[in-house]
Structure 1
C-alpha cells in the first residue's frame, strides 16, 4: 500500500560560465561545423525525484560577422545534477557563453525511507 501526500516543492537556481574559448583559441571560437560543449551542474541538495530544469543564456559573446547558430539545453537530469549542453554549427564563432538555470522539483521528507531491493 502506498501512502499519498502532497509533495514539498523545492527550487534551486544558478548562473554558470559554460565555456570561454576566445582567449585560448578553443574550438567554439576557431572551429567550423558541428560543435558542442557540456558543463555539469550539481544541485545544492538532491531532489526526491528528477526535477524540471529550465536553461537560458545570460551572456553570449559572439562574432557578428557570421551567422550565429546556437542551441542550449539541459540533458542527463538526475536528482543531484544535470548537464548544460551548448551546440553550434556552420561558421558560427562563439567566444563565451554563460547560462542561467532553474530547477523545480519534489524535496525529500526527513522521514522518507530509502528504497532497498
Structure 2
C-alpha cells in the first residue's frame, strides 16, 4: 500500500464525512495513525467542534469505505475533557487536536 495515496484518500473521506454529518461544525480534525502510519486496518478518527447540544458524544460508523470514529464536542465539553485529562496526566483529546490535520475551521477556534 502506498502511504501517500492512502493518506489522500483518508483526508478526502474525512472531509466528506464531516461535511455530510456535521455541516455546522466550527472545527474538525482528522487524527490518529491514518495520518502517520496507515494500514489496511486504519480507521478515521475525527474530532468535531460544534456550538452545543447534543455534544459531547462519540459515534462509530462506516462511511466512504472507512470505519469512522467521531468525537463530537462543544467548546465547553472540549475544555472540560481536556482539564480532566490533564489532571490525570493524559491528554488524548488535546494530543489528537494538536497533532491532527485541521480540516474545517470556520472561526479560527480550531487553531487556538
Q: TM-score, with normalisation over the residues of structure 1?
A: 0.26
**Structure with the larger RCO, 1 or 2 (CA within 8 Å, 6+ apart):** 1
Structure ranking higher in helix proportion: 2
> Which protein shows a greater Rg?
1
Q: TM-score, with normalisation over the residues of structure 2?
A: 0.27
